[in-house]
């Protein structure tokens, strides 16, 4: 299902006051971690449509069968998974059909977001589905609307009924043991309707990071065009947005920017959604 986002202006990025709030919540954070979100600026976008949810395993399977497609992880024969302490582990046989390695499968996970997909894989799927990856600006507008809200749902702090993130069901050093969102890794898409954005887009915070079309540049906001920005012309990494089940609260803000692994390196907590 696609959701319509009307044309118009919105506030993209973070103010100094926004970063002050993050620093107050995070005793070990460094301010330079968030400079890529600045300066906050007004962006004007044409109207667009965006998937209401992340692409699921079941949806991706239809694409693979129709196109006889082989993902980058399958070509390489490995992908990255996360051990219980939060460290990366390169695992042979891990791919979208085997999320925790060759002995795992997708039983009961047909409606979970597809993972172990590269930027290349995401682009190929969206083209097959008649769309494209959203631009970084489109993604952020769909997530936060026009009023500069911190999270898709507004200003309410993260809670177990709003999203899937590193909570009591995970055992990382940064896990918030005071919150229970019900899942220790990915959750079915659309599982947190109370966390929807103003446009009723779901899972824009948490569950899996999402690929967008743009190359990543820490300094891009200082010179980005005010109308329909498409990101730098080139780069080493592509942008991912939205945080995941693996991260803490500071990475779940709608303005937070991060980058994915180089295009052929995949992992357990990055997925995507398409736009038109």
| Model confidence pLDDT, tens digit, residues 31-50 | 888 999 999 999 999 999 99
Q: How confident is the model at residue 94 (pLDDT cuts 50, 70, 90)?
A: very high
Residue 263: per-residue pLDDT? 67
| Fold of the 2-272 domain | 3.90.1580
pTM above 0.85, yes or no: yes
Closest CA to 117 of 43, 28, 244, 210: 210
Which residue would you say has higher pLDDT here, 29 or 125?
125
Long-range CB contacts (< 8 A, 24+ apart) of 166-175? 166/245, 166/246, 166/247, 166/248, 170/245, 170/246, 171/84, 171/85, 172/85, 172/86, 172/246, 173/85, 173/86, 174/86, 174/247, 174/248, 175/248
**pLDDT of 160 higher than 70:** yes
Domain boundaries, the chain: 2-272
Closest CA to 244 of 137, 172, 178, 193: 172
Q: What is the DSSP string of 163-228?
A: -B-SBTTS-STT-BTT---S-SS---TT--GGG--TT-----SBSSEEEEEEEP-TTGGGT--SBS
Query: Which tens digits make up the pLDDT trace of 202-240?
Result: 999 999 999 999 999 999 999 999 999 999 999 999 999
Residue 9: per-residue pLDDT? 97
**pLDDT of 30 higher than 90:** no
Q: How far apart are CA 165 and CA 179, in angstroms?
A: 9
Q: How far apart are CA 225 and CA 69, in angstroms?
A: 36
Residues 249 and 25 sit within 8 Å (Cβ to Cβ): yes
166: left (phi over 0), alpha (psi -120 to 50) or beta: beta
Instruction: Taking the CA atoms of 223, 226, 232 and 238 in sequence, report the sign of the dihedral they define.
Output: positive
Kindly report the average pLDDT of the chain as a whole number: 94
Query: Which tens digits make up the pLDDT trace of 171-212?
Result: 998 999 999 999 999 999 999 999 999 999 999 999 999 999
Question: What is the CA 234 to chain-centroid distance, rounded?
Answer: 21
């Amino acid at each position: 299902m696609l959701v319509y986002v009307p044309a118009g202006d919105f506030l993209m990025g973070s103010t100094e006051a926004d970063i002050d709030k993050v620093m107050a919540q995070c005793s070990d954070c460094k301010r330079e971690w968030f400079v890529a979100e600045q300066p906050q600026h007004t962006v004007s976008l044409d109207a667009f449509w965006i998937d209401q949810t992340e692409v699921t395993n079941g949806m991706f399977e239809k694409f693979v069968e129709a196109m006889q497609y082989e993902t980058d992880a399958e070509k390489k024969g490995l992908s990255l998974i996360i051990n219980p302490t939060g460290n990366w582990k390169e695992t042979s046989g891990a791919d979208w059909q085997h999320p925790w390695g060759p002995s795992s499968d997708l039983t009961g996970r047909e409606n979970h977001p597809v993972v172990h997909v590269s930027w290349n894989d995401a682009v190929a799927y969206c083209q097959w589905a008649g769309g494209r990856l959203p631009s970084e600006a489109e993604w952020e507008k769909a997530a936060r609307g026009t009023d500069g809200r911190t999270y898709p749902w507004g200003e309410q702090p993260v809670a177990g009924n709003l999203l899937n993130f590193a909570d009591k069901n995970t055992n990382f050093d940064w896990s918030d043991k005071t919150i229970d969102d019900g899942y220790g890794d990915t959750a079915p898409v659309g599982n947190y309707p109370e966390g929807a954005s103003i446009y009723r887009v779901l899972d824009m915070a948490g569950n899996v990071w999402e690929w967008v079309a743009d190359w990543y540049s820490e300094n891009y906001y200082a010179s980005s065009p005010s109308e329909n920005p498409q990101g730098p012309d080139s780069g080493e990494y592509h942008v991912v947005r939205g945080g995941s089940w693996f991260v803490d609260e500071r990475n779940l803000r709608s303005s937070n920017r991060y980058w994915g692994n180089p295009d052929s390196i995949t992992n357990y907590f990055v997925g995507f959604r398409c736009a038109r």
